[in-house]
Structure 1
Amino acid sequence: MTYSQPPIIGVGVVVRDADGRILLGRREKAGESPSWCLPGGAVEPGEDFEAAAVRELREESGIDDAGEPRVTGIVVDHPDGRVRVTAAVTVTLGATPPAVTEPRVFRAWEWFDPGALPDPLFPATANILRGDGSSYRVTRP
């Protein structure tokens, strides 16, 4: 199969608090259906997954003192016939609570038990947290 567009390379930051809950943002971006989403986004030129995760977390939630980032999974899928590679990067929450820093994208940040995730999840977030059966998933402890 030949793809006409370059792949999308991104990160989803799995922020865990002391109780093991996961941080999700209420994503209400113009032109999209509302959903719940991990902090994250595109990897910029010159960045590795960990650096992109730290930057995206700071930009989207104001958290700049999370624990050491660690790649814990890679998801490869093909939305709309385009290759997308998303790294799950896990961090622990530092002392800074999440804040809405991009109100044109996120309305709120909330904590969820991994066994009680809200619906709907943003597609890339769902692939990281649940898997959808159509993506290639590699995880490590």
Structure 2
Amino acid sequence: MTVERPKVGVGIVVERPDGRILLGRRVKPTEPETWCLPGGHLEPGETIEDAAHRECLEESGIGDSTGAAAFAVVVDAGSAQGGVVFGVHARSTGIPTGPGEPHIFPEWVWADPADLPRPLFAASDALLRAWTGATPDPAWQVHRITAG
């Protein structure tokens, strides 16, 4: 039996000057509909920040994010698949130009972090809890990244 190693993912909290953050409505035929940060898998040779920028551009069309910095790593300790996801924060004044993957993300919105649409994709929820300082979901280990 071959056991697949967990993939390394990245999610980006893109924040506008008014404090709203970018979320996409995620629809996949085999999964429940959720709301999700832009993100995906780290490609060979990419930095975490480069992967976050690339995924944001590919999925939402926003390519002007600045000041990208990793803030946390979350580990899915509650499922058989596992997973490691780096959280990156950046700022943008951009407008989503439309879904780059309309079959997965038919809609992008700027949401108030205090009033997020639900349900959230599990990895996005874990990253947003880490970003806001909320109590982590017990199924996720949270490792904060500090500058320095």
* TM-score with structure 1 setting the length: 0.90
Q: How far off is 1:79 after superposition?
A: 4.9
Residues 1-141 of structure 1 aligned to structure 2 (within 5 Å): 4-94=3-93, 96-98=94-96, 99-130=98-129, 131-140=136-145
- Contact 2:77–2:141 (Cα < 8 Å) also in 1: no
State the alpha-carbon separation in 1 of the partners of residues 125 and 29 from structure 2.
20
Q: 2:78, 2:140 within 8 Å by CA — same for their partners in 1?
A: no
Could you tell me how far apart the structure 1 residues matched to 2:115 and 2:141 are? 23
SS in 2 for 1:138: strand
Superposed CA deviations along residues 48-91 of structure 1, whole A, max 9, x for unmatched, are: 21111011011001111111211011101135323311011011
Distance 2:111 2:138 in 1: 23
* Identity fraction in percent: 43
> Structure 1 stretch 36-45 or stretch 125-134: which is displaced more?
125-134
The alpha-carbon deviation at position 4 of structure 1 amounts to 2.2
What amino acid is the match of 1:62?
G
RMSD: 1.6
Alignment-mate amino acid for residue 50 of structure 2: A
Give secondary structure in 2 for the equivalent of 1:47: coil
Runs in 1 of length 4+ with deviation above 2 angstroms?
none
Q: Which residue identity lines up with residue 25 of structure 1 in the other structure?
A: G
Paired AA for residue 76 in structure 1: V
In the alignment, structure 2 segments of 5+ residues that lack a partner are 130-135
Q: Distance in 1 between matches of 2:79 and 2:6?
A: 12
Q: What is the CA–CA distance in structure 2 between the aligned matches of 1:128 and 1:29, rounded to whole Å?
A: 21
In 2, the alpha carbon distance for the partners of 1:135 and 1:80 equals 9
TM-score normalised by structure 2 residue count? 0.86
Contact preservation (8 Å) 2:78, 2:139: no
Which runs of 5 or more structure 1 residues have no equivalent in the other structure?
none
